[in-house]
Amino acid sequence: MGEKELDFIHEAFASNYIAPVGPQIEAFEQEFAETVGAKYAVAVSSGTAALHLLLRYAGVGSGDLVFCSTFTFVGSANPILYQGGRPIFIDSDYSSWNMDPALLVSALDRHAAQKCLPKAVILVHLYGQPADIDPIQVACNKHGVFLIEDAAEALGAEYKGKSPGTFGLAGFFSFNGNKIITTSGGGMIVSDDETLIKKVKFWATQAKDNASYYQHSEMGYNYRMSNVLAAIGRGQLRVLSDRVQKKREIFERYYEKLSSLPGISFMPEPGFAHSTRWLTCLTVDPIKAGVDRDTVLNELEKNNIEARPTWKPMHMQPLFRRYGGHRTVAERLFANGICLPSGTNMNEEDIKRVVKVIYSCWGT
């Protein structure tokens, strides 16, 4: 947190707008839309809530198919179950670690031939890295399938000069405590479709009809962001570019020091993408390295350094086991992947300490 966040919080307190209404929310939505290049935005309580609203807008109901990236956090898939849908998980490619466009195109064509197209495709932009959006968007448009972009981890990134989250009919972002900017908790829906924005905002505010008394003709949710959290978000937006620069500098320092080690490969950055490097991620090939991923994680833990495996793919989760199948690339990225400490408050000595422990695993 910085000084500007506190200034906006004082404004919220002075206005006495604390609950989920008020000028800070309206300003945050407008400023956020301008930041990512969207026409409209709606601030909600979480990224998961945002996706839930968008799946409902897409008409997902009991038994409906939804295609989703498998290599992601569970929040990208849980709302499919909220709506009674059936997820089909699409594997990653090695060039971006995101949804493989060729597999998505093939799956859509195959399901179109069988007359069982999904209601939506959830395209995740992983670890601050945009997916290859163009071929996926073309395929969704061809078949009339709602493209939802999960840009929860990718605020500040660019795909061919534009923000991920602004290509499909709608996208969403997260402001959870671990994201590149945070409101402590919260999310944002963006779209150029005014009808969509009005509808999800209506549902997120308990679907209260336009009447002088409390009347409800549709089911709604308590999904709006509070005015105080929006005030924090406004302050955080002002340091977004600094955060991206810092994240990329941290990645570069790790890359300089570790990329020469046998068996280490960093998450690539394709030519179409400008990643935020929200997390610096790498894989350890146990054959080439002589050590495996877990050996490195355990050694870091012994030295009180928190690192984590990459996401366990959704198709491997007990929750989604009944949807089955193998997704080879995602499974390998999970088996060998590590997310290194990447907080923007890290200094050079912190990075050297992490690097020293990793080097010790190679006996150097």
Give tens-digit pLDDT for 220-268.
Answer: 999 999 999 999 999 999 999 999 999 999 999 999 999 999 999 999 9
Question: Do 74 and 138 share a domain, yes or no?
Answer: yes
Instruction: Look up the CATH number of the domain holding residue 150.
Output: 3.40.640.10
Question: Do 261 and 176 share a domain, yes or no?
Answer: no
Residue type at 276 in one-letter notation? T
Q: What's the pLDDT band for 278 if we cut at 50, 70, 90? A: very high
Characterize the bridge pairing of strands 170-174 and 187-191. Answer: antiparallel
Question: Do 279 and 221 share a domain, yes or no?
Answer: no
Q: What's the pLDDT band for 20 if we cut at 50, 70, 90? A: confident
Residue 93 has pLDDT above 90, yes or no: yes
Mean pLDDT to the nearest integer, 23-33: 96
Indicate which residues carry an active-site annotation: 179
Question: Do 153 and 224 share a domain, yes or no?
Answer: yes
Last residue of a domain, one of 237, 252, 272: 237
Residue 2 has pLDDT above 80, yes or no: no
Last residue of a domain, one of 198, 214, 237: 237
Question: Do 295 and 338 share a domain, yes or no?
Answer: yes
Question: Do 109 and 123 share a domain, yes or no?
Answer: yes
Instruction: Report which secondary-structure segment, H or E, holds 277.
Output: none
Mean pLDDT to the nearest integer, 323-340: 94
Question: Do 263 and 158 share a domain, yes or no?
Answer: no
Question: Do 171 and 23 share a domain, yes or no?
Answer: yes
Q: Can you tell me the distance from the alpha carbon of 181 to that of 246, in angstroms, rounded to the nearest whole number?
A: 12
Last residue of a domain, one of 209, 237, 265: 237
Mean pLDDT to the nearest integer, 55-62: 98
Question: Whose structure tokens read 């807008």?
Answer: 57
CA distances from 139 to 98, 112, 150, 185, 324 (A): 16, 11, 17, 33, 24
With CA atoms as reference, report the closest residue to 164 among 52, 7, 174, 93.
174
Question: Do 218 and 344 share a domain, yes or no?
Answer: no
Characterize the bridge pairing of strands 120-124 and 65-69. Answer: parallel
Instruction: Let me know: does 289 contact 262? Beta carbons within 8 Å.
Output: yes
Looking at every residue in the chain, the average pLDDT score rounds to: 96
CB burial class (10 A; 0-12, 13-18, 19+) of residue 306?
exposed
Q: How many domains does the chain have?
A: 2
With CA atoms as reference, report the closest residue to 273 among 161, 173, 165.
161
Question: Do 266 and 294 share a domain, yes or no?
Answer: yes
CB burial class (10 A; 0-12, 13-18, 19+) of residue 62?
exposed
Task: Provide the pLDDT for residue 231.
Answer: 94
Mean pLDDT to the nearest integer, 156-166: 98
169-203: per-residue pLDDT in tens? 999 999 999 999 999 999 999 999 999 999 999 99
pTM of the model: 0.95
Question: Do 222 and 253 share a domain, yes or no?
Answer: no
* Segments forming the whole domain that contains residue 181: 3-237
End-to-end CA distance of the chain: 38
Question: Do 230 and 267 share a domain, yes or no?
Answer: no
98-134: per-residue pLDDT in tens? 999 999 999 999 999 999 999 999 999 999 999 999 9
